[in-house]
Amino acid sequence: MNGDSWGRERSSGRFVWKEGMKRSSMRVEVSSQPNALPSRPCQGTLCCGTYYGGAYTLPVFHPSSTCNSQIVRSQAVGLSQRYAHSGMLCSKRGQAPKSTQPLPLDDSVFIPTSPDLANNHQKVLVSNHPAGYQSFLNGQQSEGYALLRQVRRETKVQQSTKRSLHPPTCHLSYPASLASMELDTGRRQAVPVTRVHAQHQTASGNIVQGKSEGQVTELTLEKAMTLLSQENMEMQIFAAQYIQHQCFGSADARKMVFYLHGVPKLIGLLKMDSEQLQTAAAGALRNVVFESNDNKMEVKDNDGIPVALQLMKTSRDIEIRKQLAGLLWNLSSNDLLKDYLSKEAPQTLTKSVLIPCSGIYEGENPKDDLLAHPDIFYNTTGCLRNMSSAGPEGRKAMRGCDTLIDSLVHYIRGTIADYIPDDKSTENCVCILHNLTYQMEAELPQKYTIKIADSQKSLVTKTKMPGCFGMQSTKVLEHLEKEGPLLEEKSNPRGVEWLWSPITVRMYLSLMARSSRRYSKEAALGALQNVTAGNGTVSQAMACTIVKKEGGLQQVKKILQEDEPAVKRTAVSLLRNVSHYEELHSEIVQQVLPELIDMLPEPDNSVEPPVEVTVSLCNILLNVCQNEPLHARSIVNQGGLKKIISISAKDFGNIPSRESQAASILLHALWRHTELHGAYKKVGYKKPAFINSRTTKALHFVHE
C-alpha cells in the first residue's frame, strides 16, 4: 500500500492497518477557499472589529460576536488571508450635523484575523446546532447511534444547555475587514506502528484481542476512543492519529468525537510524558476543533487551553509546538474564546514564539534561537491575529503584553529590509497591528496621553529659535502652527509607543510600496486610518506626520491609480480622515485631487463604486473646498462638477440616497463661493444646478 492511500480501504472507506504500511508524508492542508468579503470600508479601521465614531473614524458596527471563516491556501508556500476575525460587516451612519458638514462616517477600522476572503461572502464557522447535531443523527438509523445520542445528552446536558443559550452570532463589523480564520489540520496521519491488534470493550467488560497477526483490522471512531483510555502507549498514539486522520475534512467525524467525549481524552494525552503521544494528541485536537464550535468549547470547558499553553511553554519539540500553534489558531476563531485567549495567551505566545522567531533578541539566548520555526511563527501570528479582533479588554491586554508589539514591528521591518515583503507571516503581523490601533487614542492609558502632550511641547521648545529677534521667533511659531502638530520621534520606542511612532508610519508606507499582497496593504492603510481617526492631538499629529513629514500622499496616489478596488477603498478612508485638518488641504488638492475626481461615478454608468466610497469622496471634496475658493475652482477644473450634480440626482423615491445627500451638501458649499459663480456659468451650470428642490430636500433630510 503506498503512502497516498492513507491506510484507507477504498471499498469500505474505513481506516485499516496492514503490516508494512508506509507513513504518509507531512503536509499542511488548508480548507477550501471561502467567498471573500469586500475590502474594508473607508475611514478608520479596526482589524476585525468595528469602527469608532468621532472625528470621522470609520465606525464599524460592532455586534455581539464575529463570524469565523477558514483559511485559504492559494499556493503551496503562501496563504492568502484576510483580516482575521469577523464576518461581513455593516456600518450604520449617523446623520450630518445642522451645519454643512460631511456625512458622519466612522473612520476607524477593525480588521479581523482571517484568511483570504476574495469574494463577497465569508464562510461562517458558527454552529447552528446548539443542542447537538440532530441533522447528523437523523441520517443514522442504527440503535448504536441512538444509544450514543442518549448517553451524550445525559452526560452533557448542562454544557449543551449553556451553549444553546449563547449561540455564536455573526459579528457585523468593518465591511472590508477579514473574518476570523482557521488553519485546517496539518495533515492526514497514517499509523506508524508495525503491528496493531485492535481492541474493544465487550458488554461484560472484558478486553477482546483483535484478529490474528497479519490480517487487516478495521478501526472505528468508537474503538479509537476506547484505545485512547488504554495504558499501551502505542495504542494511544495509533488511536490519536486515526482520529486526526478521520477528522481531516470530515464534519461528521468531528461531530462523532464530540458525542463520544473524545476531547477530554485527547487533552489528557497532552499531559503525558511522551513527545510522540503529545504530538499525536495535539494534531488530533487541531483537526477535531476545526469548524466545530462545540468541540472548541469542549476544549475550554475541560481546561484544555491552559494545558496547551503550558505545553507550548515547556516543550522544545518543533512538531509539538507547530501542532499546538495550529490548535490555538483554530480555537481563536471562536468569538466566545477570543476574549479569554487574549487575556491568557499573549504572554506565553510572546515569550515562547514571537521573541525567538522574530529574531528581536537574536544571539542573546542561543537555546531559544533553536525554537525558531517559520510554521510555528505563522500559526501563532494567525492566532494572535484572530485574538486582536476581540473587544477593548482583549486589545488592552495585547497592547500591554511586554515585547509583543516590539516583536511584530521588528519582524515586519526585517522582511521589508530583506526584500521579502510578501512573506505570509508579515501579513499576519501587520493585521495584528492594524487591530491594535483601533480606537487607540480613546483607549490609551492616561500616562501615555500625558507623555505625548509633553513630547509635543518639547518639540515646539526645541524648534524655537533663541535670540533677540522677536519678529523672527514669531514667524517660526506661525510656521509651526501652519505645519500642524508633530510628535517627537523616539529612536527606541517600546511596546505601545510603536503604534504612533513615525518609524512605524514609514514601515507602513514601505510595505504599501513593496508588497503585492492585498491584505498586507489593506492592513497598513487601515492602521494609518485608525491612528488618524480620533478627535484628539494624537490623530492630528499622525495625520501631519503621514502627509507632511513622510510624504505619504505620494504612495496613496499610486494606490488610487493602480491598485484593486478593495485597497483603493481603504485609501479613500484614510484620505477622509486626513482631510479633516485644514493645514493638510493644500497637499491633498495638489497631490491626489485628480485621482479622487476620477473615482467619482460617471453619469449613466452602470458600474459604480460602493456607496461608502462615493460618500467618502464627496466628504473629502467638501472638507477641502468649503473654506477655500481656490480648491473649489480646482474641483471644477478637474471636471468634477458634472459628476457631483449627477450623483445628487440619485434617490429612492421620496428618500434621497446617501450619495445624493453627500453630493447635495457639497453643491450647496460650492455655490456659497460667490466669486466662482462666473466660472460655474462658463462651464454651463447656473444656480438651479446647485440649489434646487432635490438638493434642498436632501439637505433638509440630513438635518432632520
User: 400, 361, 353: which is closest to 377 by C-alpha?
Assistant: 353
Cα separation, 398 vs 248, in Å, equals: 32
The rounded Cα 560 to chain-centroid distance in angstroms is 23
Decide if 396 contacts 439 (C-beta within 8 A).
no
CATH number for the domain whose boundaries are 218-316: 1.25.10.10
- State residue 398 phi and psi, 5-degree precision: -70, -40
Give the ranges where 201-274 is alpha helix by DSSP (H). Answer: 221-228, 233-247, 251-259, 262-270
Using CB atoms within 10 Å of the CB of residue 460, give its burial: 0 to 12 exposed, 13 to 18 middle, 19+ buried.
middle
Name the grid cell of 655.
428618500
User: 390, 470, 402, 472: which is closest to 436 by C-alpha?
Assistant: 390
CATH for 553-704, among 3.30.56.10, 3.10.20.30, 1.25.10.10, 3.90.1150.10?
1.25.10.10
- State residue 300 phi and psi, 5-degree precision: -65, -45
User: 423, 337, 339, 440: which is closest to 381 by C-alpha?
Assistant: 423
Cα separation, 181 vs 112, in Å, equals: 8
Residue carrying C-alpha cell 471561502: 34
Q: Does 553-704 match 218-316 at the fold level?
A: yes
Residue carrying C-alpha cell 515547556: 314
Q: Which amino acid is at 131?
A: A
Cα separation, 363 vs 235, in Å, equals: 42
Give the ranges where 400-536 is alpha helix by DSSP (H). Answer: 404-417, 424-436, 440-443, 446-463, 470-483, 502-514, 518-531
- pLDDT tens for each residue of 201-254: 322 233 334 444 444 468 999 999 999 999 999 999 999 999 999 999 999 999
Using CB atoms within 10 Å of the CB of residue 454, give its burial: 0 to 12 exposed, 13 to 18 middle, 19+ buried.
exposed
Count of other CB atoms within 10 angstroms of residue 259: 23
Domain boundaries, the chain: 218-316, 553-704
Pairing of β 109-110 and β 45-47:
parallel
Decide if 427 contacts 81 (C-beta within 8 A).
yes
Count of other CB atoms within 10 angstroms of residue 535: 15
pLDDT along the chain (704 residues), means of 10: 36 39 33 36 41 32 34 30 31 36 47 38 30 34 41 43 34 37 53 31 33 59 95 95 96 97 97 97 98 97 98 97 98 95 96 96 86 97 97 94 98 97 97 96 77 61 52 52 71 93 97 96 98 90 95 96 92 97 97 97 84 96 96 95 92 80 95 95 92 85 68
The alpha carbons of the chain give a radius of gyration, in whole angstroms, of: 29
Name the grid cell of 510.
514601505
Pairing of β 655-656 and β 15-17:
unpaired
Give the ranges where 388-445 is alpha helix by DSSP (H). Answer: 392-399, 404-417, 424-436, 440-443
- Structure pTM? 0.74
User: 386, 534, 444: which is closest to 48 by C-alpha?
Assistant: 386
Query: H or E segment at 543?
Result: helix 537-544
- State residue 151 phi and psi, 5-degree precision: -60, -45
Name the grid cell of 193.
506502528
DSSP calls for 334-389: SHHHHHHHHHHSHHHHIIIIIHHHHTTTTTT-HHHHTT--HHHHHHHHHHHHHHTT
